[in-house]
Amino acid sequence: MNQYAVVTADEAFQSRDGVIKLHGADGFAGMRAAGRLAAEILDELTKHVVPGVSTAEIDDIVREMTLKGGAVPATLGYRGYTHSCCTSINHVICHGIPSDKKLRDGDIVNVDVTPMLDGWHGDTSRMFLVGDVPVKARRLVDVTYECLMLGIEAAKPGNRIGDIGHAIQTHAEGHRYGVVREFCGHGLGRLFHDAPEIVHAGRPGTGPLLKPGMIFTIEPMINIGKPHGKVLEDGWTAVTRDRSLSAQFEHSIGITEDGCEIFTASPKGLHKPPY
């Protein structure tokens, strides 16, 4: 059985062991502001993600923009992570660590940012194409974006969490791609990672019921090859076992009376490449 709890902004920082929070207007307002800043940071990055730039330079831009926006990067110091974003290149599924490594022509890279503004977390990521990217990789990126948006369409009251995963899985597997199961979307708000878990594969009509006030991410990771991943020695970087390319997009959303609100939509309409 899943439990739900209506929470005020003051109560939303509490960890409640699997209880799904139902946020009010103040929570939605907080998430709207944090989500907008997160999206603006990704918008700004479109002109910086080019061949020859290092992922550490991208991390610097993310940190500076986050601080300038009056927020702090939620990943800084999170479980020992020491960077302001994740940069996941090619066969990296997620949690790639920024470094001196330079982006190369033909790479695809996900940048995932999470500014915490006035206590609320805006969590979003997009794929970027570096220079001239082969059609096979571009198709993966397009289909992964479609997966995210199909998941968002299924995110409405009356549906269940399994309906979101089902929409994503059906589309991805229709293209013979693999859906990563080891990492999930998650509730968020004043907590970075909260209940419920949003698995990106599932059966229709299963899982917790979606109710107005729920706030969570959808962040499908889709591989050209098999779904399986492994984490490297650094304890963070997750890669595909078969070294096939992997892509991801992420939005933070809130369930409303008749659907959902996307907190992290791009103000400039730069939702997916080419930007």
81, interface contact from ligand MF3, Co ion, none, CB < 5-8 Å by kind: ligand MF3
Residue closer to ligand MF3, measured from CB, 92 or 245: 92
- Residue 92 DSSP SS3: strand
Q: Taking Cα atoms as reference points, which of 89, 108, 92, 86 lies closest to residue 231?
A: 92
CB of 177 to ligand MF3, least distance (A): 20
Q: Is 114 in the site for ligand MF3 (CB under 6 A)?
A: yes
CB atoms within 10 A of CB 102: 14
Q: Is 112 in the site for Co ion (CB under 5 A)?
A: yes
Q: Taking Cα atoms as reference points, which of 76, 109, 113, 75 lies closest to residue 92?
A: 109
Q: Is 95 in the site for ligand MF3 (CB under 6 A)?
A: yes
CB of 2 to ligand MF3, least distance (A): 21
Q: Which residue has the tokens 């419920």?
A: 196
Contact 211, 22 (CB under 8 A): yes
Give the DSSP H or E segment for 159.
none
What dihedral do alpha carbons 236, 240, 242, 245 form, nearest 10°? Answer: -130
CB atoms within 10 A of CB 101: 13
With CB under 5 A as the rule, give the number of residues binding Co ion.
Answer: 4
Residue closer to ligand MF3, measured from CB, 79 or 136: 79
Site string for ligand MF3, 20-59 (x = CB under 6 A): ----------------------------------------
Only one of the segments 44-52, 78-86, 162-170, 251-259 lies at the binding site for ligand MF3 (rule: CB under 6 A); that segment is 78-86
Only one of the segments 42-50, 75-83, 101-109, 205-213 lies at the binding site for ligand MF3 (rule: CB under 6 A); that segment is 75-83
Q: Taking Cα atoms as reference points, which of 241, 257, 248 lies closest to residue 28?
A: 257
78, interface contact from Co ion, ligand MF3, none, CB < 5-8 Å by kind: ligand MF3
In terms of Cβ atoms closer than 10 Å to its own Cβ (0-12, 13-18, 19+), residue 93 is: buried
Which residues ranging from 116 to 145 are in contact with Co ion (CB under 5 A)?
Answer: 123
Q: Is 246 in the site for ligand MF3 (CB under 6 A)?
A: no
CB of 263 to Co ion, least distance (A): 12
Q: Residue 225 has which token pair?
A: 């090859």
Q: Which residues bind ligand MF3 (CB under 6 A)?
A: 75, 78, 81, 86, 95, 112, 114, 123, 217, 219, 236, 250
